[in-house]
Structures are given as structure tokens and as C-alpha cells.
Amino acid sequence: MSTAPSGHEAPGHGTAGTRETTEGTVYTVTGGDWDEVVSSVRRTDDERIVVNMGPQHPSTHGVLRLILEIGGETVTDARAGIGYLHTGIEKNLEYRTWTQGTTFVTRMDYLMPIVNETVYCMAVERLLGITDQVPDRATVLRVLLMELNRISSHLVYVAMGGTELGATTVAVFGFRDREMCLDVLELITGLRMNHAYVRPGGLAQDLPPGAVDQVREFVKKLRKNLVEYDKLVVGNPLFKARMQGIGYLDLAGCLALGATGPILRAAGLPHDLRKSDPYCGYETYDFEVPTVDTCDAFGRLLVRMEEIHQSLRIIEQCLDRLEPGPVMVADRKIAWPAQLALGPDGLGNSLDHIKKIMGTSMEALIHHFKLVTEGFRVPPGQAYAAVESPKGELGAHVVSDGGTRPYRVHFRDPSFTNLQCMAAMCEGGQVADVIVAVASIDPVMGGCDR
């Protein structure tokens, strides 16, 4: 407990020593009557209590520190302490080839790995000047996978947001449906998470047999299951009572703090980079940008639920426009080998591809070896690419000095920026409402601490 200082000893009690800290004066009681100590502290002019709260969202799992100053049950000051999950991903990229960078960036916000990979590769492709050379099939598959990622991320938000409010049934339903989504991602990429599937110039491999049918079946099942969320979550009076008016942040506050994604759209502004600054051909897809004007936690829930419906629409359009073709640029000085196969030793280059390389010429074998071990060179310069991730604007600023490794890579992660809203949402509210407000931001600390 911290209180404002009134001297080096608590009034009327000589055994309660004090020491100064960054949070104020801390009283250390070494003996005597506790009631007398408490009454002495209560007589000070400016009483305050500082509490460390957290974690209150599963994606923070102990590495987001919420420092709350409270008076009674009211939060008078709130701060977010970050940096406990610093992975050094951005620094590590400087010691890896441009292609190897995808295995690092996919681990930032681990609920949307495909989105991380895509924005990084888009920036690298701009530096290479090959944006228009990326095959159409690869671009369509990128959109399909990003929308699958958006759905899986929102399902985690709904599931664990319900858990934080005591609605464990919602968690069961949310993770049940997320498992279906991850099954599709595993079929296509070989992994449930941290795929490293998107590469500069295209993709690591094409769709395996049966993937299109499984995606269509997933869309059909999820559409049927979403009806249950309308009853369990959106139409639940307990959810409404717990979330309406909580974590309030209006449009002016969102713009001042740089908030994007569902937080901004729940304040009434239909800002979505897929519409305002299209990439990967999003301007050719038919979908809506859901908005509400409640500016609270419940509005953010409504926006995310509707975005799941819109993502299903986009996925169906992707399946309809898939045409046979390559999934990697034709330039062999850039294209990482994309002829992969699942063999007894795991996912790797297919035997036929290896035979072709080794049987064509010594020069082809040398080129393959140098491309994999040394990597390709990227012209000097810098580029910025941005996409609409499940949590808001995700940007990648990539700098090259002309070598085979990035000179500098920096990400504009939406969780990091959106956490600035925490104080504005929580101060003046109740301690119990901090849980709801932080969950409505949906932060993932892997994206904050890079």
C-alpha cells in the first residue's frame, strides 16, 4: 500500500518505517497494533493505493503489467507496463536473409501469423520492384489465408473475452470453431501457427489436393455455428449489461491516440485499409466494412462478429476466382524454390525437383545452393507496406543497403498503438471494468514487444 508522505514515521506509531519509491511512500510495519497503524495512515491528507493487475487477457499471459491507482473501487490512474516479452525479432532480422525473415515475423502477433508474413513480403517486393510480377494465384491465396487468420483471431477474442466474464460456454464454442480454422491452415501450410508460408515473390507451395473442398466445408459449418453466437453473446442480456458503456472511447479519442481496427470502427468511422488503401486486389472483392457508434466494449464485439461474416464472403470469392498457375515469381534469381513435397523427413523440396536441379547443369546446382544459403540481393532503399490486420493497421518499414540481409525492419503493430487507449478507457471507471476494457482492445504482447 502506498500513501502520500507525512514524515519518516506514521503519526502516532514509531514502529512503522517509511521509504520513498517511484509510486510514493511505502510504510513498513515491524510490530505494534495493526488497527493503530491503519488509523494513522487514514489520517494522511492524500491516500492512494497502487495495484498491479493482470494478466486479464490470455494473449498477455503474464507479460502485460497494468499499474492502477485506485480510490475505493474507482480507478484514478492507469498505466500499461510493457517490455516483458521482448523477443528481439526486429534485431534478429538484420542477421538473416530476406526469405528467412518470414520465420521471425510470423511469430510477432501469433494469432495472425499469415498477416505478419504478408505485410513483410509486400514491403520486400516493393523494394525489389516485383509487386506486379507476383502471380495472381499467389495473391488470391494470400487474401484467402489472411481472412482465415482474421476469423481465427476474432474467435479467440470472443472465446477468451467470454471466459474473462465467466461465460465458459462461449470459450468452448470459440475454440471449437477456431480448431476448424486451424485445421484448414495446417492442411495448406503444414502448420497450425507460425507458418512461414508467404515468401517474397509468392508462396512456399501451392494448395494440396482437397484443400478447396475443405475450405468450402469450413465456410458452410462456420456459417451454421455463428447463429449460436447470436444467442450466447450478442443477444445475451448479461453480456450487454457487462459490456455496454464500458471502456468508452469516442472518435476524437481514437484519432488522437492513433487507434485503428475494431476500436476505431466501433466509434463510427468505417476506416479499413482493404477499402481506403487496397492491396492484394481487395478492391475487386465485394464486402462491407461494419461499424457501430456505441464507442464501447460491446460495440467492438459487434464489429468483430460482423467481420467474421464478411471474411467468409471474401473467402468464397477467393475460391471462385482461383485459376491454375504458379505461386512464385518467374525470376529465378529471386524465387525461393517452391516445389515442395511432404516426405518421410518432413516438408521439403520434392525429389523430382532435386533431380531436375542436379541433372540440369552444374550452374543450376550452384545457383540453387547460393540462393538458399546466401539469399538474393535487394536494391538499396526503403519501403513501407500496410495491411488491415484483425486488430488494426499493421505496417512494415523495411530498409535495404543493397545486401542479402535487411539493414533495418520496423513494424507498426496495432496492439502496441491501441494499448495507448487503455488509460482513457479505464480511468474514472471501476476496477472490475478494467478487465472488460483491456479485453476489448484485444492486445497480443508478441506484437508489442518485438
Q: What is the pLDDT of residue 14?
A: 45
Of the CA atoms within 13 Å of residue 418, those in its CB half-sphere come to 27
The fourth-level CATH superfamily of domain 89-334+376-448 is Cytochrome-c3 Hydrogenase, chain B (1.10.645.10)
In 3D, which of 236, 239, 260, 238 has the Cα closest to residue 249? 260
Checking if the pLDDT of 1 tops 70, the result is no
pLDDT at 326 over 90: no
Reported as a pLDDT band with limits 50, 70 and 90, residue 2 is very low
> What is each CA distance from 438 to 49, 54, 76, in whole angstroms?
20, 10, 16
pLDDT at position 68 is 84
Per-residue pLDDT at 66: 84
Q: How far apart are CA 387 and CA 115, in angstroms?
A: 8
- Note the pLDDT tens digit of each residue in 365-391: 777 777 778 888 899 999 999 999 999
All structural domains of the chain with their residue ranges: 2-81, 89-334+376-448
How many residues are present in the chain?
Answer: 450
Distance CA 306, CA 309 (A): 5
pLDDT score, position 141: 95
Omega before 326 cis (within 30°)? no
Looking only at the bridges linking them, the beta strands covering 49-53 and 24-29 are unpaired
> What cell numbers appear for 211 in the block?
484443400
With a cut of 90, say whether residue 116 has pLDDT above it: yes
| Rounded average pLDDT over 433-450 | 86
Enter the C-alpha cell of residue 436: 472488460
Assess whether pLDDT exceeds 60 at residue 73: yes
Q: At what angle do helices 211-229 and 136-164 cross, to 10 degrees?
A: 30
**Which residue, 330, 405, 337, is CA-closest to 374?**
405
Q: Is 306 helix (H, G, I), strand (E, B) or coil?
A: helix
d(CA 436, CA 442): 10
The answer to whether 169 touches 89, Cβ cutoff 8 Å, is no
- 240 Cα distance to chain centroid: 25
Confidence of residue 236 (pLDDT cuts 50, 70, 90): confident
Cα 79 to chain centroid distance, Å, stands at 21
Distant-in-sequence, close-in-space partners of 232: CB < 8 Å, separation ≥ 6: 162, 167, 169, 170, 173
| pLDDT for 122 | 94
* Residues 138-176: tens digit of each pLDDT: 999 999 999 999 999 999 989 888 777 777 888 888 899
For the stretch 386-402, pLDDT in tens is: 999 999 999 999 999 99
How confident is the prediction for the chain on average, in pLDDT?
A: 84
